[in-house]
Amino acid sequence: MNITYNKDIGTKQKALAINLDPEIYGSFAEIGAGQDVAANFFKAGASSGTIAKTMSAYDMTVSDAIYGALKVKRYVSESRLMAMLGHEYSLLIERLAKQRGDNTTFFAFSDTVSTLNYHKTNEAHGWMGLRFQLEPNGAFNDVVIHVKLLDTDSNLQQQAVGVLGVNLLYACFYYHETPTVFLLSLMDELSKDRIQIDMIRFDGPNFEKVDNRLMSLHLVKYGFSDAALFGPDGENQQPSEALYKKHIVVIRGRFRPIINVHMDMLNTGVKQFKQEPDVDKKNVAVISELTLQSLKERNAAENAEIDEKDFLDRVDILCSLGQTVLISNFHEYYKLVSYLSKITNLKMGVVLGYPNLEYIFGEEHYTDLPGGILESFATLFSRKVKLFIYPTLRNGVIMNCLRFFPPPHLIDLYRYLIANNKIEDIRNYNENNLHVQTDIVLQLIKQGVEGWEQYVPAEVATMIKARCLFGYPCPVDPTTGASIKIDEAAAK
C-alpha cells in the first residue's frame, strides 16, 4: 500500500501505524547501538502484532556462531549486515511461513552500528537494512543504507539510530512506489547535523525500475551526504569501505562527453602517480568525480534543476570505460582532499588541467575562509597529496607548471610547493589532444558533423550514436516523432 507523504508524522505514529497493520510481521536484530529501533515499536503500543523476535549478539564469538565468521574482522560492515538479514529472514520463513504466510508480509530488520566510545576516538557509523515482502508469499526486497552519526553523545546517536530505523521500515512499506519520497522521509525528525546517509541500495522485484546511481545523486542533491560512490557495474558503494587503505587518484570533470583528452589525462596521470616511490601501484583506486555544479549547465541559475537523464548518460559512458564514479558537493579541491583524507592515510593524486591550477591560486575563491588561501592550502597540501597538471594550449603556446606565474606575493609559496614535490607537470602526454575542447566536440555531436568520432574513445562514439546521447541527431520515426535508436553493434 502506497500513501501520501506526510513529513509531520512522528516516530511514534509511524511505529504505531506499522504495529496496527495486520499484514506486517517480522524480527529485529540490532548490534552496537542498543535496541532503539525495536524499542520504538514496543513503546508505540500493539507491538505484539508486529514483532516476532528481537535479539542482539554483541559478543563477537556469539555473532560469528550465529551469522558466520568474517574473513576480515570488521563487524560494522555491509557483509555482516547482509549475513544478519539473510539469517533472520530465512528463520522467519522457515518457522512461520506455513502458519501465517498466506496473510503476512514478513520482514527482517538488522543494523550493526558503532557509536562513540568513552574517549570519543572512533568513527561513529553503521549499516542498516530491511529485507521484506510487499505481498504475502511474495519475493523479498532489500533496502540497505550506510549512516554516519554526527552527534557528540552516544545516547543521542542511539536515539538517532532508533528514529532512522523506524523511518526506514515505514518508507519500505508505504513509500516504496516513490523513491524520492522514500529518501526524503528517512530524515523525518532528524537533521543533517545529526546524521549523514552516504549509501543506499534498492534491490528486489519491486525496485526493478529504481536506478541506484540516481539514488546516489539524490543523496548528495538533498544534502544527505557530501559525496556518494558507485562502481563500473553501477552498484552503489560506501566510500569508506571501497577506498579503505588505498591510494586514490581522482580526476574531476563535466565529462559531457568524455573525450580523448580526458582519457589521456587519466592514463598519463595515473601512470605517473604509480611511479612515485611511496606508492604501492597494486593498491591504487582511480576515481572520476562529478560535482553537483558540473551537472548543471553553464550559466544556469544556482537553483537550477539537474537533468537526470543527462547525468545518467554521462555515467553510462564512464562506467562503460570501467570508471568508478564519485558524485560530490565539493566545489573546492581542498574540500575534496579533506574528505578523502578521512578515508585513507595513504598518498593521493589529483589529476587536473592547467586552468584548474590557475583556479586553485585564485584568492577570490577563499573569501569565506578566515585564513583565506593559506587555510585552503593547509588542507590541500598538508597531507600526502600531489597535483599532476595536464597542459593547455593557448595561442599556440603549451601552458604548464613552468609557464605558470601566480600573483607576486604567492610566487614563493608556489616555488615551495614545486620544490617539495607537491605539484608536477604530466609528461608524455599526446600533444594532438591539446587542440581539442570538450564544448567544441559537443557542438559537433549535436550537429552531426562528420568526423567527430575521432575526438572520443571508440566505445564512446558507439554509445552516443546508438543511444542518441548529448543531442546527437538520430533518425526520427515519422509516425511518432520519436528518435530511432540503432543497435550498438551496427553503430560500430
User: Residue 487's pLDDT band (boundaries 50, 70, 90)?
Assistant: low
Nearest to 384 by CA among 265, 280, 467: 280
Place 357 in a pLDDT band, splitting at 50, 70 and 90.
Answer: very high
- Contact status, residue 255 vs residue 290, Cβ threshold 8 Å: yes
Maximum CA pair distance of the chain?
81
In degrees, rounded to 5, the angle at the alpha carbon of residue 104 between the alpha carbons of residues 103 and 110 is 175
**Contact 252/289 with Cβ under 8 angstroms?**
yes
Helix (H, G, I), strand (E, B) or coil at 325: strand
Question: How far is CA 403 from its chain centroid?
Answer: 37
Q: What band does 73 get if pLDDT is binned at 50, 70 and 90?
A: confident
pLDDT at residue 475 is higher than 80 = no
From CA 439, how far away is CA 139, in angstroms rounded? 47
Least confident of 50-64, 294-308, 367-381: 294-308
Q: Express each pLDDT in 158-171 by its tens digit.
A: 999 999 999 999 99
pLDDT tens figures, 230-251: 999 989 999 999 998 999 999 9
CA 451 to chain centre: 35
pLDDT band at 71 (very low <50, low <70, confident <90, very high): confident
Q: Are 108 and 89 in contact (CB under 8 A)?
A: yes
482 has a pLDDT exceeding 60: no
Q: Which single residue is written with the C-alpha cell 575542447? A: 437
Q: How far apart are CA 3 and CA 16, in angstroms?
A: 16
**Per residue in 437-462, pLDDT tens?**
999 999 999 999 999 999 999 999 99
Nearest to 95 by CA among 106, 103, 85, 84: 106
Q: Measured between alpha carbons, how far is 224 from 193 in angstroms, rounded to an integer? A: 10
Q: Do residues 250 and 356 lie in contact, with contact meaning Cβ atoms separated by under 8 Å?
A: no
Dihedral, 175, 177, 178, 181 alpha carbons, nearest 10:
0
Give the residue-averaged pLDDT of 15-32: 97
- Cα angle for residues 63, 68, 158 (degrees, 5° grid): 35
Confidence at 8, pLDDT banded by 50, 70, 90: confident
For residue range 147-157, list pLDDT tens digits in order: 999 999 999 99
pLDDT, average across residues 61-70: 90
In eight-state DSSP terms, residue 483 is: B
